[in-house]
Structure 1
Amino acid sequence: MKEKSLAQYMHPQVKQLEDELHNKQVQLNFLMRITQAINANISQRELFEMFSQFLQRDLGVKRLAMLFREATTWKCHKAIDYIPKDIEALSRILVKKYKDFSKVGELSDDLLKPFELVIPVYHKDDPLAYVLVGKIDKAEDAYDRFKFMISITNVVAVAIENKRLFNRYIEQETYKKELELAQRVQQMLIPSELPDEPNVELSAIYRPHSNIGGDYFDYCKLDDGSLIICLADVSGKGIPAAILMANFQATMRSAVKIYHHLDDLVRHINTTLVGITKSERIVTFFILKYDPQTRRIEYVNAGHNPPIYINGLDQRFLKEGCTILGAVEHLDVVDVGTLQLDQSESLIVMYTDGLTDLRDSSGAYFDEQKLKDFTIAHKKITAKEFNEELLEAMETFKGQSAYPDDIAVVTCKIKATSI
């Protein structure tokens, strides 16, 4: 009788120990599998699937929602027996009220009532994920299951966060290399030196606002001795602007050898630009052609800031031209402005809107009139000295403020000739 009584007493304990051992083995096996999967760098989707299947099959979870943070927003990556509703509102409730493993009470917010437990995952003070579970099978080892559920949730969430950070690192490194390449491209596009012509002084200022700017200037000398000078402001910044700038320069340099009239040249550049960008990007553009034999200037202003022309008492803005390039496929009207220079000295200052967008501490702009007044006051010095003085004036004017945009200035001084 005593032996039978002892067996009856021991049997439930043995059964309980066997069940606990089995559950621990199941948990250990899954921990090994999930660790191997993480080391094998399986996709995020596959990781979510493994995790949700384990919660369902081995931990008795019948309802599930897995919310993970992505930058500044939250996304429900996996849901079982639950239709995600207003994830932004739900995430705000979770971030505000749930920093530890918690049971969902009867007085909880309506969005949480489908669930029984909230499992948050934090890194320091930053929430990474929330796993919401409901319809959990009742069992004697529920407490142990909950503890393992918390542990494995942390493992999976941290693995996914590490994967996200690694992918972001790869993206940043890729972008960095692309940026370096674009910088080298732009450095090749912007002339490092301007030509030394007998009767023409040229000097340039180039200050990109970021690593890669959207401003561009160029020059070329034609076979007949004429000089082409142009200045452009490409919409956008960064790599797309650098690519468009490279295309723009290639188009301009090839077209200038074919089209001898500026209106035809500008129309061709515009058509090519529309073909490349599908009218999604625009370019403001100014181009002039100077013939030193006749001292005649022709120019077209395509929606660009009007350059300043000073020749004695003749002081004006050069506005003749057409609309911006790249906006419409066909330019119906392209007016060509002309200047017939006399034997006296002439000064032309071309610039982009980064210059006239400069502000002082009171908010006043370094506008076109201020630039014109500065040009008149400094018209007698060389082009190089003019730009040096202009740079100093820009720095003084803006004070401690940052430059708001790219700045490009091309100063052209055509020297006087003897009669």
Structure 2
Amino acid sequence: MEDRHSRFELKTLLETSRLLIESHDMDFVLNNLLLITMGKLLITKAMVLIYQPAEGNYVVTKSKGRNCPEEGTKISFPEPERVKEQSIIRQDLDDVALPEIIEGETQCTLFNLQTSNHHLGFLCLGAKGNKQPLSDHEQEFIESLAIISSVAIANSRMFTELRRINRMLDRKVYELNTLFDLSKDFNMMVDRDEIVRIFKFAMLGQMLIRKFFFILEHEEERSLAASSGIKGQPSQEEIDTLFNFEEDLVEVDESVEEDVPFLKKNEIKAVIGLNFQRDTIALVGVGARANGEDYTRSDYNFLRSLGNLALLSIQKSYLLEERIEKERMEEELNIAKTIQRGLLPDPIPEIEGIDLSATNVSSYQVGGDYFDVAQTPDGNYLFAIGDVTGKGVPAALLMANLQAMLHVLLPIEITLAEATDQINDIMYENTPSDKFITFFWGKYYNEDKSFRFVNAGHNPPIWLRKGENESRELEEGGLILGAMPTTTPYHEERIILSEGDILVFYTDGVTEAMNPEQTEEYGEERLLECVRKNRDGAAKEIQDAIIQEVNAFSEDTQYDDITLIVLKVL
């Protein structure tokens, strides 16, 4: 009879194991754990306590029976660390201090719910119907059931987290596609009113924001450029106070409302600063969302990206207007040259542990050379260099569009390879067939000195390691941008830099410089030899040596821009 009983219990455990572990529903797992336990032992009161590590207490997640605490009730134990170490705790029988867990019950038994690595909580059982203590056999059965349930609970948590991450990734992809679509619209606009109108509709439609304002600084004047649902105008003093906030993101609280009553009057929830070349020149204030959801860090990043996109387009429109007013388009060459120079970073960021120098030496012609060094929101740095086919205003504007897309991508969590796929498709769809870009970009990580890069048909940068004469060319990537749609995804590669390593990024204005007879190019071998000879110098010295040698080779006759970035690990 006992063997038959044991076989029945074993079958029950096996069936329960399959049922619970295959389920990803936490409520189903906990409900079945209580029902099986209460049915087996004829117990009328039971509940599951789930551990909350951040608060150091337990929450009643599932309970059944009279006088059991309501679900959501928090419970603390006098000796929490000691309690977590026990497999079974019998109230008033074991030497462990417990509060009155179930009102009127003095014979509660707690079974530890745990995996090999984590304590999850307790299965708490009231007294049996006959008031007899649990037998050893019954305790073993419940312990086995607790082990099975612990695995099921852990699996359910993991599945829930995976679903949350997948939802977050889906939302990221949607936001990225939205930004790229808006980028195409903005890049075709030079009318600021139209740019502001599209920005306003994006705020209302994409984020369900009914109240917002956009304050812009231009020529040292700060004013309200756009708004929706806003009552009145902020005073100049209030605007100046907003611009003086140290953080780029300020969530409005009582102290902020005291400093800027305009925010309280319009129920503004957060103010986001927008930067251009390290200076805050615009602000976006947002009210509550129409669906009542709180803003997440991802939402703020999307708003910042959207604002930066509009801001860059507005700045481009101002830049074009200013050039037209001042020079009246007397020379297409001069206007394009000014636009191109305005796209380059000034000053070059200082990076801890890196000696960095970069320059663009313009020729008499205007080319499409471009480079950028920008800090990403995670504190690392992005390096980019490129060259557009052709010269003049078309090449300069095409490079301006590329720069706008790069700055939009800075706060977005996406790999370089995926971003390059998107940039290439946009360039292909929105540029003539004879316009394309050779492009190289990479991200430097401060923590481990690693460098991830994608080369889209650009002159491969030189990587010269300390103590070695042979260099390596950074070629991994794919086709030039804009030549054809992305059929084969771009690839990225990761390298680790060490002390004394040198990276040299350059455009073809360096290697294709011609001698006076127009019979020979300067070439990659001369460039590499110049880097070798000057490897012990600082980054600026290496850069100057290259330019000096190129000029000497061509006898100061320059037909194309010379663009260089020299990075040396200290």
Query: Pairwise CA RMSD of aligned residues?
Result: 1.9
| Structure 1 partner of 2:392 | 238
Please tell me whether residue 365 in structure 1 is matched to residue 521 in structure 2.
yes
Determine the structure 1 residue equivalent to 2:474: 318
What is the CA–CA distance in structure 1 between the aligned matches of 2:329 and 2:535, rounded to whole Å?
A: 44
Compute the displacement of 1:310 (Å).
1.0
* Alignment-derived partner of residue 308 in structure 1: 462
> Tell me, what secondary structure is at the counterpart of 1:176?
coil
Query: Which residues in structure 2 correspond to 1:81-230 (within 5 Å)?
Result: 175-176=329-330, 178-230=332-384
Separation of aligned partners in 2, 1:319 and 1:291: 20
Residues 1:407 and 2:562 aligned together? yes
Letter in 2 for 1:351: Y
Paired with 1:397 and 1:237, the residues of 2 have a C-alpha distance of 24
1:297 matched to 2:454? The reply is no
Q: Any idea what the Cα deviations from partners look like across 1:24-81, whole Å, max 9, x if unmatched?
A: xxxxxxxxxxxxxxxxxxxxxxxxxxxxxxxxxxxxxxxxxxxxxxxxxxxxxxxxxx
**In structure 1, what is the Cα distance between the partners aligned to 2:333 and 2:465?**
43
Spell out the pairing of 1:322-401 with structure 2 (5 A cutoff).
Answer: 322-342=478-498, 344-361=499-516, 363-399=519-555
Contact 1:255 1:269 in 2 (8 A): no
Deviation per CA, 1:142-190: give whole Å up to 9, x if none.
xxxxxxxxxxxxxxxxxxxxxxxxxxxxxxx964255444333222102
Give yes or no for contact 2:370–2:385 (8 Å, CA) kept in 1: yes
CA distance in 2, matches of 1:406, 1:238: 12
AA partner of residue 193 (structure 1): P
Partner Cα distance (2:475, 2:500) in 1: 21
Q: Distance in 1 between matches of 2:555 and 2:452?
A: 38
Contact 1:267 1:331 in 2 (8 A): no
**What one-letter code is carried by the residue in structure 1 that aligns with 2:474?**
L
Letter in 1 for 2:449: R
SS of 2:330's equivalent in the other structure is: helix
Cα drift, residue 386 of structure 1: 1.1
The correspondence of residues 226-305 of structure 1 with structure 2, limited to 5 A, is 226-305=380-459
Tell me the CA shift for residue 383 of structure 1.
0.7
Amino acid at match of 2:364: S
| Amino acid across the alignment from 1:222 | T
Distance 1:399 1:177 in 2: 27
Q: Is the 8 A contact 1:215 1:406 kept in 2?
A: yes
CA contact (8 A) 1:219 1:228 kept: yes
User: Tell me, what secondary structure is at the counterpart of 1:390?
Assistant: helix
Inter-partner Cα distance in structure 2 for 1:186 and 1:341:
31
State how far apart, in whole Å, the 1-side matches of 2:515 and 2:337 are. 30
Aligned CA distance change for structure 1 residues 259 and 324 (closer, same or farther; 3 Å): farther
Contact 2:329 2:335 in 1 (8 A): no
Q: CA 1:409–1:331 in 2, change beyond 3 Å: closer, same or farther?
A: farther
- Contact 2:377/2:410 (CA < 8 Å) preserved in 1? no
Give deviations 1:124-151, integer Å, cap 9, x for gaps.
xxxxxxxxxxxxxxxxxxxxxxxxxxxx
Identity %: 32
Amino acid at match of 1:214: G
SS of residue in 1 equivalent to 2:414: coil
**C-alpha separation in 2, matches of 1:332 and 1:174:** 45
Tell me by how many angstroms 1:266 deviates. 0.8
Give a deviation string over 1:193-224, Cα, whole Å, max 9, x none.
21112211221231222353210001111122
Q: Does the aligned pair in 2 maintain the 1:256–1:265 contact within 8 Å? A: no
Q: Read off the aligned partner of 1:197 and give its amino acid letter.
A: I
Higher relative contact order, structure no. (Cα contacts within 8 Å, ≥ 6 residues apart)? 1
Residues of 1 paired with 2:420 and 2:413: CA distance?
9
Question: Structure 1 414/260 Cα, relative in aligned 2: closer, same or farther at 3 Å?
Answer: farther
Whole-angstrom distance in 1 between the partners of 2:385 and 2:487: 19
Does the residue aligned with 2:435 lie in a helix, a strand or coil? coil
Name the aligned partner's letter for residue 196 of structure 1. Answer: E
Q: Would you say the 8 A contact 1:251–1:272 is kept in 2?
A: no
Distance in 1 between the 2:520 and 2:435 partners?
30
Q: How many residues align?
A: 241
- For each residue in 1:381-404, what CA deviation from the matched residue of structure 2 results, as whole angstroms up to 9, or x when unmatched? 11111111112111211125x213
Distance 1:179 1:358 in 2: 21
- Distance across 1 between alignment mates of 2:350 and 2:339: 24
- The CA distance in 2 between the partners of 1:367 and 1:180, in whole Å, is 29
**Alpha-carbon offset, residue 281 of structure 1:** 0.9
Structure 1: distance between partners of 2:377 and 2:410? 11
How far apart are residue 328 of structure 1 and its match?
0.9
8 A contact 2:366–2:561 mirrored in 1: no
Q: Give 1:348's aligned amino acid.
A: L
Shift of 1:374: 1.2
User: Deviation digits for residues 81-114 of structure 1, max 9, x if unmatched?
Assistant: xxxxxxxxxxxxxxxxxxxxxxxxxxxxxxxxxx
State the TM-score, normalizing by the size of structure 2.
0.40
> Residue 303 and residue 397 in structure 1: after superposition, are their counterparts in 2 closer, same or farther (change >3 A)?
same
Tell me the distance in 2 between the aligned counterparts of 1:186 and 1:352: 15
Give unmatched runs, 5+ long, in structure 2. Answer: 1-326
Q: Name which of structure 1's ranges 259-268 and 320-329 shifts more when overlaid on structure 2.
A: 259-268
Separation in structure 1 between the aligned mates of residue 533 and residue 437 of structure 2, nearest angstrom: 31
> Where do residues 67-78 of structure 1 align in structure 2 (5 Å cutoff)?
none
